């Protein structure tokens, strides 16, 4: 995957292989979220080239593009979960790529595939919240709902923007482990923006550091120590 210059990102030249778990680190405003946006197609680069799953998304239209996009799942920083929906619907929204419009509409009346939704929520410790309204949940619980949505989507490339920012250490570990397993299960990759160096080192194979939209660090996780990474944060902060 390659990207080229926007004001948020410039001269970024990165390739992520199947099976890799990449942590993207850097201070706020370094371009981490823009990088993920470029990957999931919500941000179009003004210059340069992006290939996702080996294909340039801008060359595709309609159904083909949807199929490609269905292979990438995101947990966004803003989560983007309509609070008025029950948790079960927000999780089921991960399956919209494979559901017909009629099935999607009927599911809002009679929730479909509740067994899978329940299993995904159970992995994240939220099984008892399945039928609650999403806006009644805490920030950390909503974050896990967004993760459960990606679990149901079963994408090959998993993008996660601060997926554990509102979670306690044990849950943060769970969420990253679940996301890593999800990517591995489908033979794909995980790209996660993380603020916690320890989490990055525990759950990722590779660490990419961004500063002002440029790659300033790209190293295997086992060559880095927590203190070295903390020093990196110290520099960019």
Partner 1 sequence: MTTVLDRAAPPAPRLARDRRRWAWGLAAVALTAAALAGSGLLSGPVLNRGGFAQFGRFAAAALRPELDPGFLAVVADSVLVTVAYAVLGGGLALLLGAVGAVLVSRRTWGRRRTGWLVTRGLLAVPRGLHEAVWGLLLLNVLGLDPWVGVLAIAVPYGAVTATVFADLLDEVPRGGYEALVAAGAGRGTAALYGLLPPAAGGLLSYSFYRLECAVRSAVVLGLIGAGGLGYQLALSFTSLRWEQVWTTVYALALLCLLADVCGRAVRRRVAAPPSPGPGRDPVLTASVLAVVGLAGWAGWFLALSPAALFSGRTGEQLSYVAAAAWPPSTDPSLLGDVATTAVDTLLMSVVAIVLATAGAVALAGLAARPPAAGPLRRALGVLVRAGLLLLRAVPPPVWALVLLFVLLPGILPGALALAVYTLGVLGRLVGEAVEEADRRPPAALRAAGASPAGAWLYGAVPALAGPVLALALHRWEVTIRDTVLVGLLGAGGIGVLLSARTSAFDWPAVTTVLGAVVLLGFAVDVLGSRARAALR
Which residues contact partner 1 (rule: CB under 8 A)?
A: 40-42, 66-74, 76, 78, 80-85, 88-90, 92-94, 96-97, 99, 101, 104-105, 108, 111, 114, 118, 122-125, 127-131, 153, 155, 170-171, 173-174, 177
Pick between residue 13 and residue 128 the one whose CB is nearest to partner 1: 128
Please state, in angstroms and as integers, the Cα–Cα distance from residue 96 to each residue in 83, 90, 134, following that order.
Answer: 18, 10, 18
The C-alpha atoms of residue 87 and residue 148 are separated, in whole angstroms, by: 10
Q: Are 12 and 35 in contact (CB under 8 A)?
A: yes
Q: Are 179 and 123 in contact (CB under 8 A)?
A: no
Q: In angstroms, what is the minimal distance from the CB of 237 to partner 1?
A: 26
Pick between residue 114 and residue 212 the one whose CB is nearest to partner 1: 114
Pick between residue 102 and residue 227 the one whose CB is nearest to partner 1: 102
Q: In angstroms, what is the minimal distance from the CB of 235 to partner 1?
A: 31
The C-alpha atoms of residue 108 and residue 68 are separated, in whole angstroms, by: 25
Q: In angstroms, what is the minimal distance from the CB of 231 to partner 1?
A: 29
The C-alpha atoms of residue 107 and residue 88 are separated, in whole angstroms, by: 10
Pick between residue 202 and residue 214 the one whose CB is nearest to partner 1: 202
The C-alpha atoms of residue 35 and residue 30 are separated, in whole angstroms, by: 10
Q: In angstroms, what is the minimal distance from the CB of 10 to partner 1?
A: 23
User: End-to-end alpha-carbon separation of the chain, Å?
Assistant: 27
Pick between residue 57 and residue 209 the one whose CB is nearest to partner 1: 57
Q: In angstroms, what is the minimal distance from the CB of 30 to partner 1?
A: 21
């Amino acid at each position: 995957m390659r990207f080229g210059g926007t004001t948020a990102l410039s001269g970024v030249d990165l390739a992520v292989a199947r099976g890799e778990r990449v942590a993207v680190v850097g201070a706020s405003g370094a371009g981490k979220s823009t990088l993920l946006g470029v990957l999931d197609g919500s941000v179009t680069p003004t210059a340069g080239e992006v290939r996702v799953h080996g294909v340039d998304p801008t060359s595709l239209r309609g159904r083909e593009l949807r199929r490609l996009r269905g292979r990438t799942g995101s947990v966004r920083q803003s989560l983007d979960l309509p609070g008025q929906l029950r948790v079960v619907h927000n999780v089921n929204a991960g399956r919209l790529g494979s559901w017909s419009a009629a099935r999607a509409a009927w599911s809002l009346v009679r929730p479909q595939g509740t067994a899978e939704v329940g299993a995904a929520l159970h992995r994240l410790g939220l099984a008892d919240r399945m039928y609650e309204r999403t806006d009644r949940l805490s920030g950390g619980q909503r974050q896990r709902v967004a993760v459960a949505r990606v679990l149901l989507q079963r994408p090959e490339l998993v993008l996660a923007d601060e997926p554990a920012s509102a979670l306690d250490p044990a849950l943060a570990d769970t969420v990253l482990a679940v996301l890593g397993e999800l990517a591995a299960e489908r033979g794909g990759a995980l790209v996660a923006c993380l603020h916690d160096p320890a989490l990055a080192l525990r759950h990722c194979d590779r660490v990419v550091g961004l500063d002002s939209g440029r790659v300033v660090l790209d190293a295997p996780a086992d060559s880095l120590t927590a203190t070295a990474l903390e020093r990196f944060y110290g520099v960019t902060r």
